[in-house]
Structure 1
Amino acid sequence: MASDAQIAAKLGQLDTWLRAGHVKANKDDIDAALDELAALAEEHGLNQGSLCKGYELALGGVLPTAQALKLLPELVPREPLPVQPVLLTLSALGDASHNLPLGAGKVDYKVQRRALEQLVVLLELGAISEQARSTLDRLYGVVERGLQYRTLRDATAAILCQVTRRHHVKPYRIDELNRIIARDPAPPSSLLRLREEYRSYEPERVYEQRSTGSSRAGRSKALEAWKESASTIFEGGGAKVPDSNGERELSRTTTPLSDLSTVTALASHIDTSSMPSQAASVLSTVSGSTRRARPPPEADRARAWGLLLRSGYQPNSEHLARLSAWLISQLQYELYDLEPSDAGRARIEDLFCRVRELCELGGELLEALEPFLADFLHTWDGEHHRKVVFDIVALLKPFSWEQYAGFFLDKLRKLADSHDVEWSADFVACLTALVRNLAVRDNWDPETPTVTAFGMLDGNVQYLDALQGILAFGDAFILSATCRFPTSLVLRTAALTFYERLLDLPLALDLPLVVLPSPAFTYTCLLSNELMSLSRICGIVARLRDALVGEASAIVSSGSGAAPEHVEALNARVVEIVGVLWQKRFLRAKEGADETDAGVMGLSKHDVDELNARNAESRTESSANSQGITTHGALALLARDCLAVLAEHQGKSSEALVGPVTVSSLKALSAATQHPSAPNLSFNAFRPHLVEYLAQRGATGLSEFLFSSLQSLVQRRASMTA
């Protein structure tokens, strides 16, 4: 139609004027444009594109109230109302001073009420799209917020009467509705109808409540006239008449919220709607697998977070309180008001995943959810929703150490005692993520602002001490778990990752904090029969030296210096690891050692003597000979492979080697006259080649440790790089 193009052009002109601030300069021009728009729209109504633009202008907060009220009645849909006007109407719902993005004005309650009243009429006429109706169903909790405002109460209750279904009727909603009716001396008839609607589902809870005051009813003549006009235009626009079930066949002209299944999809669609206080309702539904695939790229996260801010989210109490209240009420209802079921657990998982997705965008847990999480952990069984709960714990913002321990970590440590090794490994991974999330913050400097994405920091708390407390807690937990599960590779892997990430604090993030792995854990890795643990613990010890005394370390640059006991303990670890791998001094007490300390990883002389005695009873060789770099359980076969490669480079063969590579076996190989093609290589010449060979096969931690700890290897590396 020609009028469609004219209407679109007129709305575009209004939009241009409003963006340029023209409304303040000449309101007469705006009124004239609105009159022209009314003449164009009177007969045929608006198509969906013009309808969305009209709602955007009317509810954008830039039109004076009188002009917004003049524009809204002209927004008569020729086709079923799409989802965007519904979102715009709900986004303006509530406190007029806090419901729009920065730079936009207020939406007067009168304008909000008119938009809600028109939505009621369209619901009654069936002139609303399937997507829009589905959105009202999903955003039921957003709509009911209008009941808190006297001006909006009648229209809000009328909408709720239209969209209420069994799953919406919950005890807390019934109780709140009864309180509203009791406070209102003349409750609107729609409010009483809503209570009757609730009673049809929950008669036992509602029937005793009766209103003692008179009710007010009736619709304005202007709105009745608008309903008649809207009905005529809508039915004459070719829309399909409702069937017996009151539903319409509709084409999908917009993307329903249920299709926003990822953060990327949310970022792609939210920029067309202003939803400042209801983002929780449109967050992605991400349950179905507790272990997520690859997280969204950082670019997608930044875009999604930017769009949430564009939609009005700022760290202010109004927005955050409304968002948090919605999440907490839903979680508490599912957790504590319903009987446990598989379907209920799926809904709880979904809600927790929504919390995680939103909070990851802001980098921390919503402040109002902190006490909820602490209470939840008191009754948590440790199994259901484990992965997502650990993810949420890792998003805690800085507290004092006493708060971390008392409200969260001590509870989780107790749960670990009654669960398997995988639970402990997941908890260690949670601690690793918590430390990482805290360490990358910019709130450590007392002079920086204490406002965070979702709350505030206490300026009197020593947060570095709290972070150091988490490091010590993690180290103690790993020691305890290692004693319970000494052979678990999954636990050992998680623990090694924990210690590796901690080294980034002084070496990459300028935080003067460090913790040394316990002697028991170090020995467990050192003596394991797989190369990963051995190499990684050696790499950790090598980097610890850089962290404690290296020029690039924050511990050194801070001027405080490393604690002498840390340096002493580290030196002892270096000596013991070199002794085991290079000098065959495993379980050899120091000269002059007393009974309480043999100088071997904190063991007493009595323990060292007893271990050596038991080894002598069960083995034909000394314990030291079994742990050298060529005879270690994780290295012996690799040493033979390395010798075979060296022999091949010389055009010879090492097939005649008997047993592991040792001083004696190499001598026997080179001296054997029946094998003239055997390589002639000394044990001392072979070992540096073996270290380089291991590095080529991924054991970089072991290589770095030995090449930085042994003078002979330091000189060898220097000569090779010269």
Structure 2
Amino acid sequence: MPSIADSERPASLRDALEALERGEQASNTPAKQRAVKVSGVVDVICRHAFDVGLDQESLRTVVQIASVKTELDQTSVTTLIKNLYPAQRVPAGLVVTIVGALGQGKGKPTPGTQNGFVKWLITVHEIIDDSTVLSRLYGVLFGMLDSISIRTSLCHLLSLITLRKHVKPFRIEQLLELARGLGNEPALQGLLRVYKDYYPDIILGSTSASRNSFPPAPDAEWRSRITAIQERAAAEADAGFEQHNGFKVSRKGPKRGKSSAIPDVHTFHANETSVTLEGIDNVEDFVEKLDLIDPPGQMVSFLTDPLLQKYVELRDTPIISRRIQLWLESCLEDQYNASREGVVDVRYLSQILEGLLRHVQYTNSLLPTVQAFLKEYLLVWDGLQNVDTLLSLISYIPIQPFADARVTFLQPLERALGGHDLQSYEYLLGFYTLLFRQWTNQAMRQSSRSGSALEHPDQRALFDLASHFSTLSSSLVLDLPPDSPSALSITSAILTFYEQLSTSSKPQHIPIILPPTTLINLLTLSSSTTVFARITGIVANYRHAFSAHPVPIHQYYPEEVTAAFNSTMRDIHNLLWLSRGLLIDPPKCVGLHCEPELRDTLHAYLTDLDHEYGIQTAFNMTHNPLLASLALSAWLDVENEEIEKEGYGPDAITRHAGPMSQISLERLRARGGVNVDWEAYRVRLLRWLEERGLRGPEDFMFAASVPLRTKYGDQA
């Protein structure tokens, strides 16, 4: 790179950036009229970038200058782009600026500059602070594939960021048209191969591949340099928090340390022979000197310092425990009194609670002093301050009889949360999900036991907790407007709990705990496709849990429990697969508890609309109002495949308008349509739904039907 005498070189990075930025000196001034040679300015910027990287503001300045048409020579611009070493993660706004500079238009940079920018995006796409920004700009990037100068690099970038959601029919058509017009262009063929991986049945034929078809591997020297720069910046960027490896005390820095409720680790009265935590900087040093380390002055620092946490756990002497207990008792009592009187320092209390949470997450154990504080604090808590931290803390209470936990913690908690908006119920449901997970983890550590699934106190506590949750959730589902955003969020929180519950059981440790059949029925008949898919997946999970349980089942669970579950399974199976919706044949099936008179009335109404309709088919996979349009889309895929496979003329063959049924497919075959087996089509529909995120129906059918699992299970 050309250079000039130091007297002509800008003194610093800031001076160099200002020289580029000011119109009268560089970027917008013809070369002969400049007071400073551009080569010297570029040299300063590039050397600084190579040594320590460019911070986000400097990076933004260089990109903004290079992303528009300027008087800078191409060599200087190319050199700048090649040396854009970011010291931190690349801002999403910078990516938007670069994408906005691509393509044709007045004021756009040269094709060479644009190509350099695209190559730079290929290199840094993994370190953008918002990983979704390129995905959101996918349509813009794809629309510029007709730009010859950047097409190769653009194809490589698109190959790296393409997801299934980006592969649209119109884009497939455009790619195929480009490929036909341009011939065997390697990068374009590589992008087409990515598309074909997602939809091999749509993109037919073979796409040639060569070494140039795939995105080039990032330059090894460039990547090693950027890694070194970012690691150094991460260690120095935040003056408020020193990076460490878990075996070195953390430092918050002077500004943050003064305002922190929890002090830094500091060992007072140390001398030359003392071994202190501040002198430890690696695991070997810590292990070797563990028994010699003098305790620091304020043991409460263990709430936030990972090294002191390790020390306390490994050297838990009575003196250390007592020092911690005395500080916590004094501090938490002060916070309780301040909260009761309405004069609490919210920021100080937040730091204490967050420190307690970090400690309990590290140890999985809630200190008795903290439990005593929470018990009293919940009585004066407003249900708003530090809600996330407080709920996470309480979820670590030891497993105990549910009645005791309810009186001590849960009733005050529900009262505090219950007086607010509907979001408070989401917090409450999420809390019970956390609590059940923690109690499950604690119960798993107990020794195994035989006999009834609920004879051990821990098992009974889990059962009572789930029963309480079921009562609460059933009430919410019945009371809330079914299609309101709040109702959908609350329903999602309910399903999250049961997804955890349905997969948590372990024989002789964690019992199988079923939701109420009435709640399953309500969710099965929800107006949301997602809710329907999730609840069928939950029922499938329970079926797998019973299958994996030691036999005979009746030794562990009462007969009425398994009978109720089997009835629920048959009801959903009748609804979804056998076209026997709401069939009532007790005790085998109870029709989702639909009254016979209501079923008859609904059946009469449907047959009046069309004699081929009826209540028995109204909920199956092809007629269900939640799935009918999806079933038709899947049918179109199947039908088109059959047409192509058999070589039919697309315009000559009879098409099916939907909805499909066994009889309608037989009629279609007789009228000259495709020949598709009814069962095979429905299995294909199950997998079609699974590929699009609705896995529940497929899981349920293969769990509920042994013949289906035997015939098609190997293909799942």
Q: How does the TM-score come out when normalised to structure 2? A: 0.52
Q: How does 1:183-332 map to 2 (within 5 A)?
A: 275=295, 278-281=298-301, 283-284=303-304, 305-310=309-314, 312=316, 318-332=322-336
Distance 1:538 1:315, change over 3 A: farther
Tell me how far 1:387 sits from its aligned partner: 1.4
The farther-off stretch of 429-438 and 567-576 is: 429-438
SS in 2 for 1:506: coil
1:393 alignment partner AA: I
1: CA distance between counterparts of 2:554 and 2:563?
Answer: 19
Tell me if the contact between 1:581 and 1:628 (Cα under 8 Å) persists in the aligned partners.
yes
Q: How does 1:544-559 map to 2 (within 5 A)?
A: 544-548=542-546, 550=547, 552-553=548-549, 556=551
SS in 2 for 1:441: helix
- The residue that corresponds to 1:513 in the other structure is 511
* Stretches of structure 2 lacking an aligned partner (at least 5 in a row): 1-250, 270-276, 450-454
Structure 2 counterpart of 1:541, from 525, 539, 549: 539
1: CA distance between counterparts of 2:319 and 2:509?
Answer: 27
The percent of aligned pairs where both chains have the same amino acid is 19
Matching of residue 645 in structure 1 with residue 637 in structure 2: yes
Structure 2 counterpart of 1:336, from 334, 340, 362: 340
1:342-391 per-position Cα deviation (integer Å, ceiling 9, x unaligned)? xx333333322122111221213221222322222233332232212211
- The residue that corresponds to 1:629 in the other structure is 621
2: CA distance between counterparts of 1:512 and 1:282?
Answer: 34
- The residue that corresponds to 2:347 in the other structure is 346
Q: How does 1:87-166 map to 2 (within 5 A)?
A: none
2: CA distance between counterparts of 1:589 and 1:435?
Answer: 35
SS in 1 for 2:656: coil
- The residue that corresponds to 1:503 in the other structure is 502
1:541 alignment partner AA: V
Distance 1:647 1:444, change over 3 A: same
Distance 1:628 1:279, change over 3 A: farther
- The residue that corresponds to 1:580 in the other structure is 575
Tell me if the contact between 1:401 and 1:466 (Cα under 8 Å) persists in the aligned partners.
yes
Distance 1:585 1:358, change over 3 A: same
Distance 1:447 1:306, change over 3 A: farther
Matching of residue 689 in structure 1 with residue 684 in structure 2: yes
- The residue that corresponds to 1:561 in the other structure is 556
1:261-301 per-position Cα deviation (integer Å, ceiling 9, x unaligned)? xxx9xx9xx9998556844346449xxxxxxxxxxxxxxx7
2: CA distance between counterparts of 1:420 and 1:368?
Answer: 32
Distance 1:495 1:278, change over 3 A: farther
- The residue that corresponds to 1:491 in the other structure is 490
2: CA distance between counterparts of 1:421 and 1:329?
Answer: 32
1:218-263 per-position Cα deviation (integer Å, ceiling 9, x unaligned)? xxxxxxxxxxxxxxxxxxxxxxxxxxxxxxxxxxxx99xxxxxxxx
Matching of residue 714 in structure 1 with residue 712 in structure 2: no
2: CA distance between counterparts of 1:136 and 1:685?
Answer: 70
Q: How does 1:586-601 map to 2 (within 5 A)?
A: 586-590=581-585, 599-601=590-592
1:639-666 per-position Cα deviation (integer Å, ceiling 9, x unaligned)? 1222122223221669943242334553
Tell me if the contact between 2:378 and 2:412 (Cα under 8 Å) persists in the aligned partners.
yes
* Stretches of structure 1 lacking an aligned partner (at least 5 in a row): 1-128, 147-154, 156-253, 256-263, 286-300, 449-459
Distance 1:420 1:577, change over 3 A: farther
Tell me if the contact between 2:540 and 2:700 (Cα under 8 Å) persists in the aligned partners.
yes
* Structure with higher RCO (Cα < 8 A, 6+ apart): 1
Distance 1:130 1:390, change over 3 A: closer
- The residue that corresponds to 2:399 in the other structure is 398
1:404 alignment partner AA: A
2: CA distance between counterparts of 1:586 and 1:436?
Answer: 36
1: CA distance between counterparts of 2:367 and 2:665?
Answer: 65
SS in 2 for 1:585: coil
2:541 alignment partner AA: R
Matching of residue 473 in structure 1 with residue 472 in structure 2: no
Tell me how far 1:638 sits from its aligned partner: 2.1
SS in 1 for 2:396: coil
Tell me if the contact between 2:302 and 2:309 (Cα under 8 Å) persists in the aligned partners.
no
Tell me how far 1:619 sits from its aligned partner: 9.6
Distance 1:319 1:275, change over 3 A: same
1:563 alignment partner AA: P
Distance 1:608 1:680, change over 3 A: closer
Distance 1:686 1:433, change over 3 A: same
- The residue that corresponds to 2:177 in the other structure is none
2: CA distance between counterparts of 1:473 and 1:130?
Answer: 44
| Equivalent residues, number | 433
2:349 alignment partner AA: I
1: CA distance between counterparts of 2:539 and 2:694?
Answer: 14
Distance 1:689 1:311, change over 3 A: same
The farther-off stretch of 404-413 and 425-434 is: 404-413
1: CA distance between counterparts of 2:510 and 2:386?
Answer: 35
SS in 1 for 2:580: coil
Tell me if the contact between 1:538 and 1:702 (Cα under 8 Å) persists in the aligned partners.
yes
2:462 alignment partner AA: L
2: CA distance between counterparts of 1:556 and 1:424?
Answer: 39
1:10-61 per-position Cα deviation (integer Å, ceiling 9, x unaligned)? xxxxxxxxxxxxxxxxxxxxxxxxxxxxxxxxxxxxxxxxxxxxxxxxxxxx
Tell me if the contact between 1:276 and 1:313 (Cα under 8 Å) persists in the aligned partners.
no
Tell me how far 1:629 sits from its aligned partner: 0.9
Distance 1:658 1:518, change over 3 A: same
1:361 alignment partner AA: Y
Tell me if the contact between 1:277 and 1:319 (Cα under 8 Å) persists in the aligned partners.
no
Distance 1:535 1:136, change over 3 A: closer
Tell me if the contact between 2:252 and 2:264 (Cα under 8 Å) persists in the aligned partners.
no
Distance 1:139 1:345, change over 3 A: closer
Q: How does 1:412-427 map to 2 (within 5 A)?
A: 412-415=413-416, 417-427=418-428
- The residue that corresponds to 2:438 in the other structure is 437
1:187-235 per-position Cα deviation (integer Å, ceiling 9, x unaligned)? xxxxxxxxxxxxxxxxxxxxxxxxxxxxxxxxxxxxxxxxxxxxxxxxx
Distance 1:706 1:402, change over 3 A: same
Distance 1:648 1:308, change over 3 A: farther
2:388 alignment partner AA: K
Tell me if the contact between 1:424 and 1:491 (Cα under 8 Å) persists in the aligned partners.
yes
SS in 2 for 1:579: helix
SS in 1 for 2:423: helix
Distance 1:416 1:713, change over 3 A: farther
The farther-off stretch of 532-541 and 646-655 is: 646-655
1:380-409 per-position Cα deviation (integer Å, ceiling 9, x unaligned)? 332232212211121111222221111122
2: CA distance between counterparts of 1:316 and 1:584?
Answer: 69
1:564 alignment partner AA: E
Tell me how far 1:580 sits from its aligned partner: 0.7
1: CA distance between counterparts of 2:399 and 2:511?
Answer: 15
1:579 alignment partner AA: N
1:505-557 per-position Cα deviation (integer Å, ceiling 9, x unaligned)? 323x8524122122233123322344432222222222212333x3x43x759
Distance 1:339 1:623, change over 3 A: farther
Distance 1:318 1:713, change over 3 A: same
Tell me how far 1:434 sits from its aligned partner: 1.1
Distance 1:463 1:338, change over 3 A: same
1:513 alignment partner AA: P
Tell me if the contact between 1:636 and 1:661 (Cα under 8 Å) persists in the aligned partners.
no
Q: How does the TM-score come out when normalised to structure 1? A: 0.51
Tell me if the contact between 1:444 and 1:463 (Cα under 8 Å) persists in the aligned partners.
no
